[in-house]
Structure 1
Amino acid sequence: MKNITVVVPTYNGGALWKESARRLAEQVPRPFRVKVIDSSSRDDTRETAQNFHFEVEKIDQKDFDHGGTRSYALKDIETEFVVFLTQDALLEGADAVSSLVSILENDSEIVCAYGRQLPHLDANPLASHARYSNYHTNSYVTHIAADFPNGFKKSFFSNSFSVYRLDFLRSIGGFPEHLILGEDACVAAKALIHNKKVAYVADAQVKHSHNYSVFQEFKRYFDIGVFHSTQSWMLKELGAVEGEGVKFAMDQLSYLYIRGNYRWILPSAFTSIAKYTGYKLGTIHKILGVGISRRLSMYKSYWNRV
Structure 2
Amino acid sequence: MEYSIDIIIPTYKPDATFEKLISRLQRQTVKPQRILVINTEEVLWEQAEFDKSPFVFGTLAGMKMELYHIRKEEFDHGGTRAWAAGKSQAEYLMFMTQDAMPADQYLIERLLTIMTQDPMIGAAYARQLPTADCGIIERYTREFNYGENSLIKTAEDIPQMGIKTFFCSDVCAMYRRNIYLSVGGFVRHTIFNEDMICAGTMIQKGYKVAYAADARVIHSHNYTAMEQFHRNFDLAVSQTDHPEIFQGIASEGEGMRLVKKTAGYLMKKRYYYLLPKLIWQSGWKYLGYRAGKSYRHLPQKLVLKFTSDKSYWEKRI
TM-score for the superposition, normalised by structure 1: 0.94
- What corresponds to 1:286 in structure 2? 296
Are the structure 2 counterparts of residues 114 and 148 from structure 1 closer, same or farther at C-alpha, using a change threshold of 3 Å?
farther
Deviation string, structure 1 residues 241-300 (Cα, Å, up to 9, x no partner): 232221111111122222233332211110000001111111111111322111111122
Q: 1:279 to 1:48 in 2, by over 3 A?
A: farther
C-alpha separation between the residues in 1 aligned to 2:188 and 2:99?
22
Question: Does the CA contact (< 8 Å) of 1:12 and 1:45 recur in 2?
Answer: no
Q: Which 4+ stretches in 1 moved above 6 angstroms?
A: none
In the alignment, residue 130 of structure 1 is paired with which amino acid? Answer: T
Answering whether residue 203 of structure 2 is matched by residue 189 of structure 1, we say no
Superposition pairs for residues 93-242 of structure 1, below 5 Å? 93-146=104-157, 150-236=161-247, 239-242=249-252
Question: 1:298 pairs with 303, 308, 313, which one?
Answer: 308
1:183–1:46 CA distance, 2 compared to 1 (3 A) = farther
The correspondence of residues 72-87 of structure 1 with structure 2, limited to 5 A, is 72-87=83-98
Root-mean-square deviation (Å): 1.9
Q: Tell me what 2:5 maps to.
A: 4
Contact 2:40 2:71 in 1 (8 A): yes
| Contact 1:21 1:48 (C-alpha < 8 Å) held by counterparts | no
Aligned AA for 1:6? I
Percent sequence identity over matched residues? 31
Decide which moves more: 48-57 or 175-184: 48-57
Amino acid at match of 2:91: E
Answer with 82-91 or 283-292: which moved more.
283-292
CA separation of 1:294/1:46 partners in 2, compared to 1, >3 Å: closer, same or farther?
farther
1:32 Cα shift? 2.5
Equivalent residue for 2:273, pick from 246, 263, 281? 263
Q: CA deviation at 1:146?
A: 3.1
Whether contact under 8 Å (1:142, 1:149) holds in the other structure is: no
Alignment counterpart, residue 247 of structure 1, candidates 245, 253, 257: 257
Task: Measure how far apart 1:149 and its partner are.
Answer: 5.4
Q: CA deviation at 1:44?
A: 4.0
Is 1:46–1:56's contact at 8 Å kept on the other side of the alignment? no
- Look up the equivalent residue of 2:52 and give its one-letter code: E
Q: Does structure 1 retain, via aligned residues, the 8 Å contact 2:158–2:165?
A: no
Q: Specify every segment of 5 or more residues in structure 2 that has no aligned partner in the other structure, as ranges.
A: none
TM-score normalised per structure 2: 0.91
Confirm or deny that 1:29 pairs with 2:34. no
Write the distance in 2 (CA, Å) between the matches of 1:63 and 1:302: 10
- After superposing the two structures, state which structure 1 stretch, 245-254 or 176-185, moved more: 245-254
Partner Cα distance (1:46, 1:289) in 2: 45
1:17 maps to 18
Q: Are the aligned partners of 1:18 and 1:48 in contact in 2 as well (CA < 8 Å)?
A: no
Q: Which runs of 5+ in 1 are unaligned?
A: none
- What corresponds to 1:50 in structure 2? 55
